[in-house]
Chain A
């Protein structure tokens, strides 16, 4: 039996400690030892469907839980049955005869829903392949990261959900195998997973980013690119205001030439102190992709510049001593930034997976973001920093860049996106300052969206306004997968209901 009860009913706290499920009954979905992946996920899907039926009969809501990473509490539901998927974490190579004619199977891998981004990276790299983007951390499950549109700052790529080519989804009404209309996996393969094929572009685009409201995802088919190396450059530099124009225009080469190497960067990230963002040094991170070679100068994640979470350590000081916030934040940035190699240091290289790290839970974390059209950056960035600091925002402000991401509910919905993150210690003042940033953007008439997994305080009206017709298409896909409103309610929670995704 792939589903087992875990412990007794009680409290469950999410990874970053931002939410608690009271009276939670916990279950674990476990990998088996079936020789073929299709058989294993078929057994698991049948067990999940049976479990859903038991929950329905018991009158309980359910919540699938991966690493429990999202601070937005989309993973929180009290008086519910929780299904932990972390022990359902096998990955399987896909053969040429598993896919439909014309589909290249060499980059595809079948991934069980509990596999972490780190595990997916490792398994792809074993096969000479790689993810092409991901978030800054690798401790989320791949399915969970995709379900919330997690992203990094690869300037020509979208979100992590862009890797998905097929999704197995279980609802009380059935087990669905969802692909784009053109199809990916062979009919025989899909049949062996015990699933009913749904080949439809809209349903697939909904399932790429389901926000946990479309059912339970036991497995995914993930695409990849040939393994590559990245050379990081990480430094502290005073950035001139005019650089925002270069970034807004997508002239990342010019930005890189000014502050790092005279090459096209693949990844650009800038962390600024919002108190005088152009007078105090910003923390810059560039990655330059290079072809894979076996004899590279391998480095640890720390040497590759993974992580900058030590910023949260000075949270209380920042909140208690408002007059010293600017200086304290700069000190924290200097001390907390992983010492990455600068331009004049000996170059180090790593694979995409080696440059990521799993950080410890960030107690008292505040993290929120706004995603804007990159072209709006010069117009609003200083205004954002100004209003954020005036109202006591006590986090660094991070700028990331990405292209439009796949999925109907992808927050990165502009052709070229700039994502402005407010990540750091939690405090009432910082939350208030972020709310003022949102008001500012509304007042200025700047279109923006917010991250599903962060503490952005979205509501149904705002989601409807932000996503418009795409939300209607997502709901139509949801109703097709889960036609019975009573079944939809099983996947609800206070947070998801509040977002208008489960009604």
Chain B
């Protein structure tokens, strides 16, 4: 029976490490013809396994009147460790985006 226990422990550890590594991957959404402005970012903290969410600052960007150019969602190592240490109760995620500069029609000089 002992080896089954060790096997399960190893499996759980592997699952945990896998989650730790996979959580740091980027989710990147981009449009085909980017005209990006500077990157802005904020941290959204998911609480109680996603039953609640809280942004540290409101989702505002000063120059988004032409929409967003691209968006990246990722978790830093520190954020992932916080999520693991709290058993997923607190799950901080970074959301980074670049606003679109706009595509202007060709004019006459």
**How many A-B residue contacts, CB cutoff 8 Å?**
66
Using a CB-CB cutoff of 8 Å, which residues 115-152 of chain A contact chain B? 116, 118-119, 123, 126-127, 139
A89-B107 in contact (CB<8A):
no
Cβ distance B104 to chain A, nearest Cβ, rounded Å: 4
Q: Scoring B residues 73 to 84 as 1 if CB is less than 8 Å from chain A, else 0, what string do you get?
A: 000000000000
**Given A6-B63, A7-B62, A89-B101; A37-B108 close (CB under 8 Å):** yes
B104-A91 in contact (CB<8A):
yes
- Residues of chain A lying within 8 A (CB to CB) of residue B102: 31, 87, 89
Q: Which of B35, B39, B63, B108 contacts A95 (CB 8 A)?
A: B108
Residue B8 is within 8 A (CB to CB) of chain A in the complex: no
B107-A36 in contact (CB<8A):
yes
Residue A309 is within 8 A (CB to CB) of chain B in the complex: no
A189-B109 in contact (CB<8A):
yes
Please report the C-alpha to C-alpha distance between residue A126 and residue B106 in the assembled complex, in whole angstroms.
9
Interface residues on A, range: 20 to 34
B107-A90 in contact (CB<8A):
yes
Main SS of chain A's interface residues?
A: mixed
Interface residues on B, range: 10 to 19
Residue A68 is within 8 A (CB to CB) of chain B in the complex: yes
- Residues of chain B lying within 8 A (CB to CB) of residue A337: none
B38-A36 in contact (CB<8A):
no
Residue A341 is within 8 A (CB to CB) of chain B in the complex: no
**Given A86-B101, A87-B63, A87-B102; A92-B38 close (CB under 8 Å):** no
Q: Scoring B residues 8 to 47 as 1 if CB is less than 8 Å from chain A, else 0, what string do you get?
A: 0000000000000000000000000111111100000000
B107-A92 in contact (CB<8A):
yes
- Residues of chain A lying within 8 A (CB to CB) of residue B63: 6, 28, 87
Report the nearest B residue to A119, measured CB to CB. Answer: B35
A86-B107 in contact (CB<8A):
no
- Residues of chain B lying within 8 A (CB to CB) of residue A118: 33, 35
Interface residues of A (CB under 8 A from B): 6-7, 12, 28, 31, 35-38, 67-68, 84, 86-87, 89-95, 98, 110, 114, 116, 118-119, 123, 126-127, 139, 189, 358, 361
Closest 5 CB pairs of A and B: A92-B109, A37-B109, A110-B109, A90-B104, A92-B107
